Amino acid sequence: MPPVIDIRHIHRVFETEAGMAHILHNISLTVAQGEFVAITGPSGSGKSTLMNILGCLDTPTAGTYLLEGLNVAQLDDEELAEVRSERIGFVFQSFNLLSRMTVLDNVMLPLVYTGYAHGHREERAVSALAQAGLPVDHYDHKIGELSGGQMQRVAIARALVNDPAIILADEPTGNLDSATGQMVLESFHALQRTGKTIVLITHDPHIAAEADRIVTIRDGRLFHEGSADGSLPGTAVSGRTLSDLPHTRSEGGSL
Ligand SMILES: Nc1ncnc2c1ncn2[C@@H]1O[C@H](COP(=O)(O)OP(=O)(O)OP(=O)(O)O)[C@@H](O)[C@H]1O
């Protein structure tokens, strides 16, 4: 099976008023299906820039990205949006939930444009919330009534509701105390046991240590655990088309 994430010799250069800012340098990284990888590194090293590329929110200036075998550079905007919504679940430090809506409505939001009937959307949201470990009696609560840890569980459920292959989490425990962060991390471990591929950015070495593998970015260069740099030998890159992607919907189920 090809890696879920396969980036090769990626560079990202931003044009700024002060000139060209070369932020990512020759980064290569593969992540296998079901793997849990932590990306760590100091502030400003390029972690979010890399995560934006992995999440198809940004494109590299040079290099190749194969996502589940798809060559991302060959996708148009509509196809990229489809990949983002169906194959990738995003979890952020600041939760990014709508505070005046209920838990259930927040989790159902990504399904609005799927064309599923309301009942089916609700079923999927309930299943995702169960997977994320939020108690049932909280489903009709407003987000503003929840604790930080509960909010992050809702955000994880929202990321899961489309049954994506990959979960990308940017400092998901950054706003939580360490005990709550640890509990949220348990949700990621549980997701990994269901076959999800997880890439998590963290500053916290204790969180990073829980991943299968840690990669570190310093000054835009990637360092793999136990090796000097992240470069891979150059290989010819082909890629599949969007319709070749496997449909791995599992219709939920609790962990
Ligand atoms: N759109 C952009 N244009 C110009 N420079 C950018 C842009 N986005 C990011 N940068 C620069 O790239 C560098 C890396 O930023 P990035 O946010 O990826 O770092 P980070 O490791 O995620 O930092 P933090 O841990 O503080 O979130 C920074 O110097 C930032 O100013």
- pLDDT above 80 for 106: yes
Residue 11 lies in a domain: yes
pLDDT at 230: 42
Residue 250 lies in a domain: no
Residue 254 lies in a domain: no
Confidence of residue 112 (pLDDT cuts 50, 70, 90): confident
Mean pLDDT of 115-122: 93
Residue 150 structural domain: 5-244
Cα dihedral 183, 223, 164, 48 sign: positive
- pLDDT above 80 for 155: yes
Mean pLDDT of 163-189: 92
pLDDT at 1: 81
Residue 202 lies in a domain: yes
Instruction: Please state, for a pLDDT cut of 90, what percent of the chain lies above it.
Output: 80
Nearest-atom index, ligand 1, CA of 52: 18
Confidence of residue 113 (pLDDT cuts 50, 70, 90): confident
pTM over cut 0.80: yes
Residue 253 lies in a domain: no
Number of domains in the chain: 1
pLDDT at 53: 97
Residue 213 lies in a domain: yes
Rg (the chain; Cα; Å) = 18
For residue 249, the one-letter residue type is R
Tell the residue nearest (CA) to atom 5 of ligand 1.
14
Q: How far is the CA of 46 from the centre of ligand 1 (A)?
A: 5
Structure tokens at 206: 């204790």
Tell the residue nearest (CA) to atom 30 of ligand 1.
44
Q: How far is the CA of 193 from the centre of ligand 1 (A)?
A: 32
- pLDDT above 80 for 232: no
pLDDT at 225: 73
pLDDT at 118: 93
Q: In what order do the strands lie in the sheet with 62-67?
A: 19-31, 5-16, 62-67, 70-71
Structure tokens at 83: 């990949």
Residue 255 lies in a domain: no
Q: How far is the CA of 49 from the centre of ligand 1 (A)?
A: 6
pLDDT at 114: 82
Which CATH number is 240's domain given?
A: 3.40.50.300
Q: How far is the CA of 43 from the centre of ligand 1 (A)?
A: 8
Which of the two residues, 186 and 246, has the higher pLDDT score? 186
Output the DSSP codes for the chain. Answer: ---SEEEEEEEEEEEETTEEEEEEEEEEEEE-TT-EEEEE--TTSSHHHHHHHHTTSS--SEEEEEETTEEGGG--HHHHHHHHHHHEEEEETT----TTSBHHHHHHGGGGGG---HHHHHHHHHHHHHHHT--GGGTTSBGGGS-HHHHHHHHHHHHHTT--SEEEEESTTTTS-HHHHHHHHHHHHHHHHTT-EEEEE-S-HHHHTTSSEEEEEETTEEEETTSS-----------B-GGGS----------
Tell the residue nearest (CA) to atom 4 of ligand 1.
14
Nearest-atom index, ligand 1, CA of 217: 21
pLDDT at 226: 52
Average model confidence (pLDDT) across the chain: 88
pLDDT digits (tens, 9 = 90+) for 11-58: 999 999 999 999 999 999 999 999 999 999 999 999 999 999 999 999
User: Shortest CA distance to 54 belongs to which of 43, 40, 39, 76?
Assistant: 39
Residues lining ligand 1, CB < 6 A?
Answer: 14, 16, 21, 23, 41, 43-49
- pLDDT above 90 for 227: no
pLDDT at 251: 39
Structure tokens at 41: 């590194």
- pLDDT above 80 for 77: yes
- pLDDT above 60 for 74: yes
Q: How far is the CA of 50 from the centre of ligand 1 (A)?
A: 9
pLDDT at 240: 58
- pLDDT above 60 for 254: no
Residue 62 lies in a domain: yes
